[in-house]
Amino acid sequence: MNAAPIAIRAAFSYCVQQVRRYDYHHYLSLLHLPPAMRRAAFAFRAFNIEISRAMDLTSEPRVGLMRLLWWQEAVDKVFAKKLVEQPVARALSSVISEHKISKQWLKRSIEARINDANREDNSIPKCTSDLEKYAEDTQSTILYMTLQAGGIQSTAADHAASHIGKASGLLLLLKSLPYHFGRTGKIPYIPADVAEKYGLLTTINGRSEIVIEFGEQISEAVFDVASVAGAHLQKARGLASTVPQEAFPVLLPAVSAQVLLDSLQRSHFNVFDSSLARGVLGISPLRYQLKLKWYAWRRHDGIRAIERRTDRRKCTADRAGLGNPRTPLLPPPRPRSSEISKPNFCTTTNIACIVPYADDAISASSKLLEINPEIYTAWNYRKRAFEQRLQESTDQELIKSLVEAELRVVEAALRRNPKSYGAWYHRKWVLNRGVVEVDFDREFRLIDQLLKADPRNFHGWNYRRFVAKLKVVPEVEELKFTMDMIDTNFSNYSAWHNRSALLSCMLSTKVLGFDERAKILAEEYELVRQALFTDPSDQSGWFYHLWLLDQTVSPDEVLLVSTWPPHGSDWVLSIAENPACYKLSQLSSLSNYFLQSGKLPIVLYFNQSVKGVKSSSISVNSTFLKNEDLVWTPVPPTKSEEALCWVTYLHFQNIQQCDSKTKAYSIEVDLDHSQNIISSSGLHHCHPLNLRFHLTLSSASVRHSGGELVDDLFIWNCDGGDSAEESNIIMPFDQLNISGHPVPEFCRWKLETINKEKNLFTEISEENCKFVKLTLARLLVARDAMLSSTTPVTERLIHLRDALELFEDLIKLDPKHARYYEDQRSLVLMNQIQFPLIRVLNVIPNSSGCLLGLETLQLLTCLNLGHNKFNSFTAFGPLKFLGSLRVLDISFNEIGSHSADTTRYLFSSPLSHSLELDKKFTLDFCNAKIKASEHWEAIILFKDLNLKQLDIKGNIVADENFRDLLVKLLPTIRWLDGERL
Amino acid sequence: MDMAENFLAHQDYPSIEPNAFDIIVYGTGLPESLLAAAAAAAAGKTVLHLDHNPFYGSHFASLPLPSFSSFLQSVFRSPPKSFSDLSASTSPYDVFELESRRVYSEVEFATSQPPEPSRSFILDLCGPRVVYCADMAVDLMLRSGASHHVEFKSVDGSLIYWDGRLCSVPDSRQAIFRDKSLALAEKSQMMKFLKMVQGHIASGSAAGAGAGAGAGAPEERFVRMSPQDLETPFAEFLQKQHLPPKIRTIILYAIALADYDQDCEGSCGNLMKTKEGLERISLYISSLGRLPNAVGAFIYPIYGHGELPQAFCRCAAVKGALYVLRMPVSAVLLDKVSNQYKGVRLASGQEIFSQHLVMESSFTVQSSVSSLLDNQDFHYSKHSRMVARGVCITNSSIHTDSSNILLIFPPRSLLPEQSVTVRALQLCSNVSTCPSGMFVVYLSTQCHDATVGKECIRAAMEALFRLPDSSSSEEIFSSDNENAGVSKPNLLWSVVYIQELAQASIGSIHSSPMPDGNVDYQNLLETTTKLFSKMYPEAEFLPPNKASENADEDGSQSD
C-alpha cells in the first residue's frame, strides 16, 4: 500500500516543478510559507497554471475549451473523492482530504477561465470592473484557498487577499499583453471603456477592437489599468494592521505585484519594453529574492513592506493619502515613437539628444554597429560626431586616432556582415575626407582578407576600385589582379566584371599598350575562351563574352545608315482636292504615300544613338523653306535627346500659291563636319555628306483610291500577293551607298572575330548548353547587323532563320527562362524592320510579345499583330508614337489573360503611369458605366491613336463593354472587328 | 663471431623486463610502427618493438646523406649468430637463426662528391613518396594522434613528360582553365570527363555503398556507369570516351597513377580495370582541396618520410609499448612439439616470449622451417620484384613556377623498352630536407630486370638534368626542347640503386611489407590493416572507424 503516498509525492513534486517553471515569482514567494500551507499552495498554483495555460497550449480554441471543461469535471470528481489520474488533480485531492477547502473557489476560477475562453475572438472586456472580477476569480481565489488551507479565518485577511489578488491579477494581465499580442495580434485585456478614452477603439464589422499603435495611447491605457491595481494594493495596505500575523506569508504575492508595478512605472507603462521581460518581473532575480526574504524574515507581510518602500521612494502615495489611489503612479512620459519601435536604439538617440557627441554615445554607437551594421542612423551619427571632433581638434595625433577609431568600427562591423552597405560607405567616407594619409597597405590587406573569405563579394571589389583610384594604382596592375583572381577561380563574376570595367576605361582612354583595340580584344577573347571551353555551364565567362561581343560590334564611328527620301530619288507630290491631303509618289516605282496635313518627313537613321541633330548641324536647302525653321525630333522622343532615328517635317502650306506646278525642286540635305552630332559614347559624326532628292509638284487631282482616303475595310493580304515587298517583314535597309567610305581595318577584324567565334561555338553547340546557344544566336545576329549592307536579303534570311531556330531550341531547353528568349526573338524580328518607311506590316504570328523599336516606323499605316503573344495593352506602348497608324489588328492575342501586367513594374518608374485623363473622359465613362480604372491601360493607348480599323477579337478582354469603350475612345473608327460602325 | 664481439664490446645490450609480451615487432618501418601503435593503442596489447638499427624507420627512414650512403652499402651484413650453438642444447625450443635478405643492390654513386654540408641533406630510402590528402594514411594519423608529431607541406602539382617536354597535369577545373598547353577542345573534353567521374562518384555515394550499380540513378546528373563498363580495362574505357591521346595519358598515368603500360596487351595482369581507375581518380579528386593549405592532391612530410614511422612509434610508446633500438634479434624460438612460434632470442642472449611476432620481410628464418611458416602472400603482382630508385641533388628547379612537384614519365616516353611509369619527386628546402637553394629529386620505377630499371632511371635523369659527364646527350635534348632559354638544372650528385620488393606474409610469424614501388602508401596500409585483423580479428585497427576500412578491404579484394 505504499503506492499511493509515492504517487502523491510525485504529484506534489510535479506541482512544484510546474510552478517553478511557469510562475517563478510565485514559486519564490511560496517558499516562504510554512510547510503545511506550502503543499496546498503549490497544488493551487499548479492548478492555476493548468487552467491558465489550457488555452495557450493549443491554437484551436475548442481544444483548449475542452481541456477547461475536463478540469471542471475533474474538480467535481476530486470533491466526490474519485480518483483522477492527473498529478495536479492528485495533489488537489490530497490537499482536500487534509484541509477543508471550499469547492466554490476552484469552480469560480475555472468558470472565469471558461468565460474568458468563450469570449468572442475580437471582443474585449467592457469595463475595468469586468477585468477586476476576472482577476479576483483567478488570483484572489488562490489566496483564499491558501488561507483556508492554513486554517486562518480572518475577514481582514480575506479582504486583503481579495485586493492583493485583484492587483496582481490585473498587473499580470498587463504584463502578458505583449505575449497575447504576439500570439493573436490583438490586445485582449484592455477594457473597452479605457480603450475608448484614449481613442484606441475601432469598430470593425460591429466588433470592437483595439488598434495597436505603439504610441503613448497604449501606455496611457496601461497606466489606467495599472492605477486600478495600485489602488487595490493601497487598500490592502490599509488593512495591514488588522491582518493576523500568520496570514502574512500567504499575502507575500503583494510584493511581486508591487515589484511589477514599479517595473511598469520604470518603463513608463510601455508593456512592450523588453526590460519587463528581463529577470523576475523586470528586476534581477537576486534582488527579487532578497526583497521577498527581507519581508518574510521581518515577519512583515508584503503590504506593510510596500508601505515602507513607497515612503522611502518619496512617492506621493502616502502624502496624498489613500483617497486618491491614482496619484502615486507617475503618468507615463511621452516617449518618441521611434524609441518604442526600436528599443535597442534608445540609448544612442537618447544620449545624442542630451549631450551631443558624448564619448559614451559614440562608444555605444560602435557597439551597436558591431552588433548590427545596418543601422544607418548610427553611421550618420558617427559621421556627424567625427566631423565635429575633427573641427575641434588640431592635434595631428588626435586626428589620426579619430580616423583609426572609425576604421576599426568599420572593420568590426564588416566582421559581422561583410556585405554591409553602411559600413563600406562609412569607410569610403572617412578615407575620402583625406584628413590623414591613407595606409594603403592596410586597406589592401583588408580587401585581400575579404576577398579570400568570399572572392565574389562585390562590396570588396567595389572598395578595391575605390582604393585603387585613391592611390592612383595603374590600371595595368589592377588588371593583373583580376587575372590572378580569375586564375584562382574562373567562376568569379566579380573578377570578370572588374576586368571588363578596367578594360573599357583603358581602351577608351588609350592607356599605353592598350591603344590597339583589336589586339587587346583578341587577347581577351582568347582568355575567355579558355574558361568557356573548360566549363560551358559556368555563366561568369559568358557574361564576359557578352561584354566582349558588345565591345566588338558596337560601332566605333557614327554613320548615317539610311535616309528617307532616298538619295537621288524623284518624287511627285500631287495635291488632292481636299487641301489637307497630298499624294506622294515615286517616279521610278509604283509606291506612293499619302501625307496628311501637308507634311513631308525627312528621316535620318544613324548606326547608333546620337544627339545634337538640329538645324545648325544639318542644313536642308530648298527654295521653298528656310533651314532655320526646321525642327528635328528624335524618334522615339527621349529624355536624353538621343535616338537612332531623327525626323523633320517639311510643310507645304504655301504650295498652292506656287505658280509653276510642274517644276521640279531639288532638296539638299547637308551633313557637314560639324561636331555637334555626338553619340552616347562620345563619338562625332565626321563624314560630310550631301544628299539630294527631287520633288515635283503636280496639281493633277488624285483619284480617290488607296487605303487612306477611302473608308473601305482593309483586308490583310496574308499570302503576300500584290504588295509583296511590303508585307514581307524583312525590309532591306535603304542603305546609303556612299562611295569613298573607307572600310577600316578594325571593321574587317570585327567581322573576322565574329566569324571565328561563331565557328568555335558551332563546334560545341551539340552539348545542349543554353549559354552556348544563346551566345551563338547573339553572334549570328551581330554578324547579320554587320553584314547587312553588303549581303543580299536572301542570305540574311538564312542567318536569321538560324538565330530564330536557336531561340526556339532555347525555349525548349530552358523553359524557366522562356519568356526572356521569346523577347529576344521578338527583338531579332523587330530589328529587321528598322527602316522607318514601311506602311504595311504583318508580324509573323506567334513570334512576338514585344514591340521595342517599332516607334521608328513613322509612316506605318497598317499593322497586323494578330495571333501573337501580347498580354497587355502596355506592350503596345510604342504604338502611341505612330501618328499615321490607321489600321491595327491585335486579334487573337492574350490581352486580359493576366489580371496585372507585371512587366511594367520592371521597366518604368511608377510616376510614368500617372493617368492623364480628361475630366470629360472620366465623366463619359461614368455615364456609360464603364470602370475606367479597369481599362486605363487601353485608354492611355487608344486615346492618342486615330484608328480607322481595329481588330481585337479573340482576346479575353474584348467583351461587349470593352467594345463600347473603344467606340468612345476612338471617334475616328469605322471598322471594329470587321463590322462597320 | 668477431662481429658479434665487436658489437658487444662497444654496445651493452640492455636486458628487457618483462620477458613476455603479447606481441613483438621487429623493425621500425611504417607498417611495423603502425602495427605496434594499433596493438598498443587500440587493442591494448603489450608490445615490444625492436630494431637493430640505431634509428627509427628501417627501410622507410630518412637519413642524413652520409648515413644514407653507408646504410645503402652496409645493410647486407647478417645479424650476429653468436649464441646459436650454445642455445641448441639448453633450450627447450627449436632455435632458428634469423637471416637477413639483401635489400639494396647495385648501388651506384655518382663520381662527384655530394655538396656540402652533406649532413643537411636528409634523404628518404623509399622515395619518391607522397601522401594523398584523402589518403588512409592521413586518416590513420588523425585517428591515432600521430598527426601531432608530423607536419606536412603541399606538393604544388604534377608534371607529365609528354612529347619530350614537361607539361603540367590539368587535374582540376581551375588547372584546366589555366593550362595554356591544352587546346580548347581538349579542355572541354577533359572537363567533361572529370564531370562524368564526379557524377559517377556522387551517384555511388548517393545510392549508398552497398547498393551497387542500381538502375534508378537518383539524379540524371549523376550518371552511374554500367557494371559492364566498370569491368573493362580503363584504357579501353577512356578510348571509348573519345579522349585525345594526351588527355588519356594524363588520366591514366598522372591522375590514376597506373604503373604499367596500359596499352600493352602482354602485361595483362597489370591492366587497370575501369572500376579501379575510377576509384583512384575519385581518391585524387577528393584529395584536392581536402586540406586547407594543400594546393594539390599530395602532401609531403617535413623532414622526410622517416617522420611517419616515428610518429606512430611515439603513439605506441605513449600507450606503453617498449622500444629498444640497436637490438638485433638473432633467432626465433619454436615449440619443439607443435612447431608453434614461442618467442625470440635477442642478440643479448635474452629470450623473450610472445604470442605474435611481426618482422620486416627482409628477415627470414632458415629455409628448412620456412615451409612451417607457410607464406600467404598478399600481393598478386609477380612481375615486380624490385624497384629501381634514384636520388639526385641539383641546385635549381626543374620547373620555374613550382618547387615541390611530382613528375610522371609515362611508359615508353623515355625509352622504347620502358614498360613502367617512372615517377620523380622534386623537393625544395621548404620541407627541410636540403639546404635552401638546393633541390632533391627522387626517382623510381618498378622493374623485372635491374639493368632495364636503372636505364629508365638514367634516361629520366638525362631528360631532367644536365649531367656533368655527358654533354652530348644534353645537346640533343636542348635542341628539341622548346624552352631552350630555360636551362636544365645541373646534376650535382646522384645515386641509383635497386631495392628488392618483399611482400608481407602471414603465418605463425608474420612479416610486414617492404616499401613498394608506388608513390603513395595506399597498398602498404591496406596490407598492414589485413595483417592486423588476422592477428587480432576481434580488435579494431586504430578505431573509431573500422567499418570504412573493412569496406576498403572488401573493395580491394574484389578487384
Whether residue B42 is contained in a domain is answered as yes
Burial class of residue A176, CB neighbours in 10 A (0-12, 13-18, 19+):
middle
Q: CB A533 to CB B174 under 8 A?
A: no
pLDDT at A916: 53
Q: CB B184 to CB A529 under 8 A?
A: yes
Structure confidence by residue, pLDDT tens digits, A200-227: 776 665 566 666 655 567 778 888 888 8
Question: Could you tell me which of A635, A664, A663 has the C-alpha nearest to residue A649?
Answer: A635
Residues of A in contact with B173 (CB under 8 A): 490, 534-535
Burial class of residue B374, CB neighbours in 10 A (0-12, 13-18, 19+):
exposed
Above 50 in pLDDT, residue A844? yes
Q: Based on the domain organization, do B185 and B281 belong to the same domain? A: yes
Residues of B in contact with A533 (CB under 8 A): 184-185, 187-188, 191
| Among A399-403, A605-609, A767-771, the range of highest mean pLDDT | A399-403
Residues of B in contact with A762 (CB under 8 A): none
Above 70 in pLDDT, residue B133? yes
Round the average pLDDT of chain A to a whole number and report it: 74
Round the average pLDDT of chain B to a whole number and report it: 79
pLDDT bracket for residue B28 (50, 70, 90): very high
CA distance linking residue A762 with residue A752, whole number of Å: 15
Q: Based on the domain organization, do B334 and B194 belong to the same domain? A: no
Higher pLDDT, A745 or B526: B526
B221 touches chain A (CB under 8 A): no
CA distance linking residue A797 with residue A816, whole number of Å: 28
What's the mean pLDDT in B156-162? 88
Q: Are B67 and B411 in contact (CB under 8 A)?
A: no
Residue B93 CA, distance from chain mean position: 37
Q: Are A455 and A475 in contact (CB under 8 A)?
A: no
The DSSP letter of residue B251 is I
Above 60 in pLDDT, residue B85? no
Question: Could you tell me which of A702, A712, A709, A700 has the C-alpha nearest to residue A583?
Answer: A702
Residue B468 CA, distance from chain mean position: 30
Q: What ipTM was reported for this prediction?
A: 0.73
Beta A887-889 vs A979-980: how paired, if at all? unpaired
Q: Which residue of A has its CA nearest to B179?
A: A530
B191 touches chain A (CB under 8 A): yes
Q: Which domain holds residue B325?
A: 3-101+303-383+503-541
Return the C-alpha torsion angle B144, B147, B148, B153, nearest 10: 180
- Interface probe for B, chosen from A535, A759, A760 (most Cβ of B below 10 Å), is A535
Burial class of residue A592, CB neighbours in 10 A (0-12, 13-18, 19+):
middle
Q: What's the topology of domain A837-980? A: 3.80.10
pLDDT at A580: 52
Residues of A in contact with B193 (CB under 8 A): none
CATH, residue B360: 3.50.50.60
Above 70 in pLDDT, residue A719? no
Strand ranges across the sheet with A887-889 = A840-842, A862-864, A887-889, A949-951, A975-976, A979-980
Query: What SS3 class is residue B154?
Result: strand
Q: Based on the domain organization, do B88 and B10 belong to the same domain? A: yes
The DSSP letter of residue A618 is E
Query: What SS3 class is residue A808?
Result: helix
CA distance linking residue A747 with residue A753, whole number of Å: 10
CA distance linking residue B526 with residue B533, whole number of Å: 11
pLDDT at A86: 86
**Cis ω on the peptide bond leading into residue A178 (within 30° of 0)?**
no
Q: CB B177 to CB A490 under 8 A?
A: yes
Interfacial residues of A (vs B; Cβ cutoff 8 Å):
487-490, 529-531, 533-536, 760, 763-764
Chain B: give the shortest CA distance to residue A492, in Å: 11
H helix or E strand, kind and range, residue A347: helix A346-354
B213 touches chain A (CB under 8 A): no
Beta B322-324 vs B122-124: how paired, if at all? unpaired
CA distance linking residue A180 with residue B26, whole number of Å: 77
Beta A887-889 vs A862-864: how paired, if at all? parallel
Whether residue B220 is contained in a domain is answered as no
Higher pLDDT, A237 or B25: B25
Burial class of residue A81, CB neighbours in 10 A (0-12, 13-18, 19+):
exposed
Residues of A in contact with B177 (CB under 8 A): 487, 490, 530-531, 534-535
Count of structural domains, chain B: 2
Above 80 in pLDDT, residue B298? yes
SS (H, E, C) B383-427: CCCEEEEEEEEECCCCCCCCCCEEEEECCCCCCCCCCECEEEEEE
Q: Based on the domain organization, do B274 and B312 belong to the same domain? A: no
Task: Please report where in the chains the cell 607541406 appears, as a residue.
Answer: B153
The DSSP letter of residue B223 is P
Beta A633-635 vs A592-596: how paired, if at all? unpaired
- Interface probe for A, chosen from B184, B190, B198, B288 (most Cβ of A below 10 Å), is B184
Q: Based on the domain organization, do B195 and B277 belong to the same domain? A: yes
Question: Could you tell me which of A707, A535, A690 has the C-alpha nearest to residue A620?
Answer: A690
Q: Which of B174, B178, B188 sits opposite A533 (nearest CB)?
A: B188
C-alpha angle B410-B416-B420 in degrees, rounded to nearest 5: 40
Class of domain A560-576+587-698 as given by CATH: mainly beta
Q: Give the start-to-end residue ranges of the domains of chain A.
A: 1-118, 142-299, 560-576+587-698, 745-832, 837-980
pLDDT at B371: 47
Q: Which amino acid is at A872?
A: S
Question: Could you tell me which of B345, B359, B334 has the C-alpha nearest to residue B80?
Answer: B345
Chain B: give the shortest CA distance to residue A487, in Å: 6
CATH, residue B195: 1.10.405.10
Quote the cell numbers at residue A881.
508614337
Burial class of residue A688, CB neighbours in 10 A (0-12, 13-18, 19+):
exposed
Chain A: give the shortest CA distance to residue B295, in Å: 11
Q: Which residue of A has its CA nearest to B178?
A: A487
What's the mean pLDDT in A814-835? 74
Single pTM value for the model: 0.61
φ, ψ (nearest 5 deg) of residue B425: -135, 120
Q: Which residue of B has its CA nearest to A490?
A: B174
Above 70 in pLDDT, residue A313? no
Above 90 in pLDDT, residue B442? yes
Above 70 in pLDDT, residue A72? yes
Structure confidence by residue, pLDDT tens digits, A545-595: 888 888 887 766 777 766 767 677 777 776 655 555 566 666 555 555 656
Q: Which of A530, A536, A760 sits opposite B177 (nearest CB)?
A: A530
Higher pLDDT, A119 or B379: A119
Whether residue B59 is contained in a domain is answered as yes
Q: Which of A488, A533, A760 sits opposite B174 (nearest CB)?
A: A488
Strand ranges across the sheet with A664-671 = A592-596, A581-586, A570-575, A689-698, A664-671, A618-621
Residues of B in contact with A529 (CB under 8 A): 184
> Which ranges constitute the DSSP H helices of A832-935?
903-907, 919-927
pLDDT bracket for residue A930 (50, 70, 90): low
Q: Based on the domain organization, do B335 and B250 belong to the same domain? A: no
Residues of A in contact with B184 (CB under 8 A): 529-530, 533, 760
Q: Are B384 and B448 in contact (CB under 8 A)?
A: yes
Structure confidence by residue, pLDDT tens digits, B485-520: 457 888 889 999 998 887 777 777 888 888 888 888
Q: CB B187 to CB A533 under 8 A?
A: yes
CA distance linking residue B311 with residue B60, whole number of Å: 12
Q: Which of A534, A763, A764 sits opposite B173 (nearest CB)?
A: A534
Q: Are A868 and A893 in contact (CB under 8 A)?
A: yes
Structure confidence by residue, pLDDT tens digits, B404-421: 999 999 988 888 888 889
Whether residue B215 is contained in a domain is answered as no
Q: Which of B173, B178, B184 sits opposite A535 (nearest CB)?
A: B173
Q: CB A533 to CB B184 under 8 A?
A: yes
pLDDT at B122: 92
Structure confidence by residue, pLDDT tens digits, A472-488: 888 888 888 888 888 88
- Interface probe for B, chosen from A534, A540, A544 (most Cβ of B below 10 Å), is A534
H helix or E strand, kind and range, residue A951: strand A949-951
pLDDT at B32: 92
Q: Which residue of B has its CA nearest to A484?
A: B178
Query: What SS3 class is residue A560?
Result: strand
CA distance linking residue A942 with residue A879, whole number of Å: 9
H helix or E strand, kind and range, residue A528: helix A517-534
Residues of A in contact with B188 (CB under 8 A): 533-534, 536, 764
Q: Based on the domain organization, do B184 and B262 belong to the same domain? A: yes
Whether residue B166 is contained in a domain is answered as no
C-alpha angle B348-B354-B358 in degrees, rounded to nearest 5: 85
B184 touches chain A (CB under 8 A): yes
The size of the A-B interface in CB pairs under 8 A is 32
Angstrom CA distances, A752 to A58, B16, B54, stand at 74, 85, 73
pLDDT bracket for residue B92 (50, 70, 90): confident
B295 touches chain A (CB under 8 A): no
pLDDT at A923: 62
Higher pLDDT, A848 or B81: A848
Q: CB B188 to CB A760 under 8 A?
A: no
* Angular region, A744: left φ>0, alpha ψ -120 to 50, beta rest: beta
- Interface probe for A, chosen from B176, B177, B401 (most Cβ of A below 10 Å), is B177
Q: What percent of chain A has pLDDT over 90?
A: 0
pLDDT at A774: 85
Whether residue B47 is contained in a domain is answered as yes
What's the mean pLDDT in B13-28? 88
Whether residue B258 is contained in a domain is answered as yes
Q: Based on the domain organization, do B235 and B186 belong to the same domain? A: yes
pLDDT bracket for residue A711 (50, 70, 90): low
